[in-house]
Amino acid sequence: MDLLSTAVGAAVVFAGTDIDDIIVLTVLFVTARRGGRPRPGQIVAGQYLGIGALVVASAVVAAGLLVVPDPWTGLLGLLPIGLGVRALIGADDDEAPEVVGGTLGVAGVTIANGADNIAVYVPVFRALGPAQTGVFLLVFVVLIALWCATAAWLGGHPRVVRLVERAGRWLVPAVFILIGLVILISSGVPARLVDLAG
């Protein structure tokens, strides 16, 4: 596999596993514009930190150093649900709900939202050599910047801003709660809990 096809493969893997991050990042950039937190730099740093943690965890699993109990990684969906509920309960009617306050919060949401990425990254990293892994990492670094720039642009788009101004009290927390529910359900956690109860 040549380096160009490796780069294309890396872009496809990243886009396929992180397309939902555009929504999360856009919501964070809108709340940053309205409420000042998290700051744009914290959003970008948190995204890099979160994706970096997912890549490191995947590399560790791919090397056989750790076994991840697959369906239980979906419990990370409780993090965005908890953040959404907290924001929904805590915000005044006329203020932007603060869902995430800083870099570590953004990283936590990125990790929770990307728990399913590990299932894709592990077999990919098992199949790559050192040079191909370097290409993958470089492409990921570039695409994280592109994702953040796209989300910042969307978060400043007048229609998006107007929508959040009209419905931000419930819309922003609802997006986080919905993301958490999707993580829980798609990972099979409810079915596993039913099996354990039965």
Rounded Cα distance between 149 and 44, Å, is: 9
Q: Does pLDDT of 50 surpass 90?
A: yes
- Among 14-18, 86-90, 103-107, 177-181, name the one with the lowest average pLDDT: 86-90
| Per-residue pLDDT tens digits for 21-37 | 888 888 888 888 877 77
What's the pLDDT score for residue 46?
Answer: 93
Residues 117-149 have pLDDT tens digits of 877 888 888 888 888 889 999 999 999 999 999
d(CA 113, CA 125): 20
Q: Provide the 10 A C-beta neighbour count for residue 84.
A: 23
- If one compares 115 and 60, the residue with the highest pLDDT of the two is 60
Whether 93 has a pLDDT exceeding 80, the answer reads no
- Report pTM: 0.74
As a whole number of angstroms, the distance between CA 62 and CA 93 comes to: 47
